[in-house]
Chain A
């Protein structure tokens, strides 16, 4: 450790954890003797007390925590700890995670006849691990970076520059909520490493404060004096003022500069069945049951109700039986989807904070609060999966840098509105964009040749179905009616083509490029024109003959590329030129 730099104004430049951070070895509290830095008002520990803390030179066998005992208040950024209440959560989590191993231990124990002690040892080990995890995890927020230290044997320090912090999510599962805790996940938008910067278990108040601290650095570069606004996090947050271990002065209760843009109305649950999210859940449940049954050599026919159902199905004609099974499946999926909707989106709320960040809170059991800085917002996507479209529903997704669209959990981070009435989705999109035009403007269709290509492509794809079945009939002895039934794919393809063309359109408004396409999932994307960072004009050999071109606007946000299918070549140049004036000017000719 270098000698503490005295009057250095920047608290974090003073030796300390920066040096050992990349190597991953433990850092004894470096800045303890930094006399010049302002004393911390909250935690009353004077600096010189702490100076006596073990000053081991960084090594692999360094002490687990920065300082033994209660989190002290060294000047400047200090290492803060997770909430001690996590001591109650970690063991339970560890036990759950170690359940298979415990079961194995239990089994081994029962065979050798003394299961009791072994189980106890197993439980003790897991509880010990939980305690260890709490004791070895600490975090620090300095002026320009966030660091998290964890691990006992393999010490790890993860640091990210604060201006790379893009999202801060708070999650609280039921056990967390019971204890007034929440888990904070700091997203940098890059390939989010597993457990990259996740602090499992701060008190809810602390977490909200940390979030405000991380997201408001632009407004207040030094210490975010401005308080975390009263973000309504559906957890009964304990009074935080009494908690030690904060380098930030206790924030004054802020004037809530919050505007609620949308909140869930119970009636929206009617869109639940049309999301089909239950399909996945049911798949998992059935897969699990199937494995249980097959591994336990249990005959489901022995179960009374199941046997009764089986007998009933065998008695009725085949058609009726099939109809019954299909109906039952539909009802099950609808129920599961509705349940999923309620669990995921209950108490959904979208609000704007100080006209700078968007907050989404949601969840029935596990609550989730995500935050998105509006300066990262590049647009909004209105998506209508076919079933949802049929009942005039839609959902809203943010197009933002650092938030990839798609992929399960990530998608949750960018959701602006769960399936809701389309009119509501439009309104929310307009509110978020600050401009109603992109969502209401009439779109320009792409013309008859684009329509022709929709039909050719859809029908060519559809024709492979009867063709494939025909081959199977010819060579694999499939029944002759198979290819005939397969012919039904052709009208289906034609319908798809018609709908795909009907969806296809684009517009350029004052601030946005608006693109709509798709049938199975129809998406209307409004991409900010200043978020377009390049163009890609693509022509297949067929498109060249038809005088069409696919225009792709590339961006750093959302899907990274927004595609305008089959635009008239004669129009494409002026379209690109209008959307991003001057970029194309040197390359244009009349």
Chain B
């Protein structure tokens, strides 16, 4: 990004008065009248991921829940003494797992979105906690596609776009294979057009 000084980022008038006490002054630094007048909003990215991603998330979550369930069943069989407690725990686990597997994938599907422009990649993901990530194409370092066994089963691909920051990988989960391929090609082409070490 270019750090040109746009008119609305001009030096504040109170710059000459360092607050030695370190307390916050309520005086706004920027005259960002725009923000207060009509709030600028970040819209959702344009594209949803593949619908098959719902199945993918459900499958992944379901397999994850098999582990605690298996442990509880083994425990129940091994120690029949306090049957009621065991059954209550098992029941609770089953209900929570069912809720998770039943709700989370649809929720995710409503949230997960992506968009690329020649200048930037923009993704949105999550369900209870949601994230939006934006990276300029000029700062992209690698574009990885990854297809695990589940992804292959469902004809999906996951894409990871990394930048020079250790904190900044963008992940797009559950794209159908063709879209993923097209996206990767597009990103690699535009990335190559931007020389430099992208730091």
Residues of A at under 8 Å CB distance from B?
384, 389, 401, 422-423, 426, 436-437, 439-445, 502-505, 507-511, 522, 528-541, 544, 552, 554-557, 560-561, 570-578, 580-584, 586-590
Contacts and interface: CB of A to CB of B under 8 A. Distances in A.
Interface of B: 1-6, 8-12, 14-20, 22-30, 32, 34-35, 38-43, 45, 115, 117, 119-120, 122, 128-136, 139, 163-168, 170, 198-199
- Give the top 3 A-B pairs by smallest Cβ distance, nearest first: A561-B167, A554-B168, A556-B164
Contact of B115 (A439, A554, A578, A587): A587
Given A540-B129, A587-B42, A581 B4 contact: yes
Contact of A582 (B16, B24, B41, B119): B119
B150 to A, nearest CB: 26
Contacts, number: 199
Contacts of A504: 24
B5 A510 contact: yes
A574 B15 contact: no
Contacts of B122: 587
A573 B20 CA distance: 30
A290 B4 CA distance: 60
Contacts of B43: 587-589
A47 to B, nearest CB: 37
Contacts of A578: 6, 8-9, 30, 32
Given A538-B130, A573-B42, A436 B15 contact: yes
Nearest to A535: B134
Contacts of B120: 583-584, 586-587
Contacts of B2: 530, 581-582
A467 to B, nearest CB: 22
Given A584-B42, A587-B134, A444 B10 contact: no
Contacts of B26: 445
Given A530-B3, A535-B133, A440 B18 contact: yes
Main secondary structure of the interface of B (DSSP, over half): loop
B159 to A, nearest CB: 15
Given A444-B28, A537-B131, A581 B1 contact: yes
B135 A508 contact: no
Contact of A538 (B19, B129, B166): B129
B42 A560 contact: no
Contact of B41 (A445, A534, A540, A590): A590
Nearest to B138: A533
Nearest to A514: B29
Given A556-B165, A556-B199, A534 B32 contact: no
Contacts of B164: 401, 533, 556
Contacts of A528: 3
Most-contacted residue by chain A among B2, B9, B17, B168 (CB, 10 A)? B168
B188 to A, nearest CB: 18
Given A538-B129, A582-B119, A583-B119, A552 B167 contact: yes
A285 to B, nearest CB: 35
A536 B131 contact: yes
Given A578-B8, A587-B42, A536 B29 contact: no
Contacts of A445: 24, 26
B130 A536 contact: no
Contact of A574 (B4, B40, B115, B131): B40
Nearest to A540: B129
Given A510-B11, A583-B134, A587-B43, 12 more contacts: A443-B25, A507-B30, A510-B9, A511-B5, A537-B131, A578-B8, A578-B30, A580-B1, A582-B119, A587-B42, A588-B42, A590-B38
Given A533-B139, A570-B35, A588-B43, A560 B167 contact: yes
A418 B127 CA distance: 44
A502 B199 contact: no
A571 B167 contact: no
Nearest to B124: A537
B29 A508 contact: yes
Most-contacted residue by chain A among B4, B19, B20, B130 (CB, 10 A)? B130
A142 to B, nearest CB: 21
Contact of B29 (A442, A511, A535, A538): A442
Given A533-B165, A541-B128, A442 B11 contact: no
B32 to A, nearest CB: 6
Contact of B131 (A401, A502, A538): A538
B167 A442 contact: no
B119 A561 contact: no
Given A529-B3, A572-B42, A584-B42, A534 B199 contact: no
A436 B199 CA distance: 24
Nearest to A394: B22
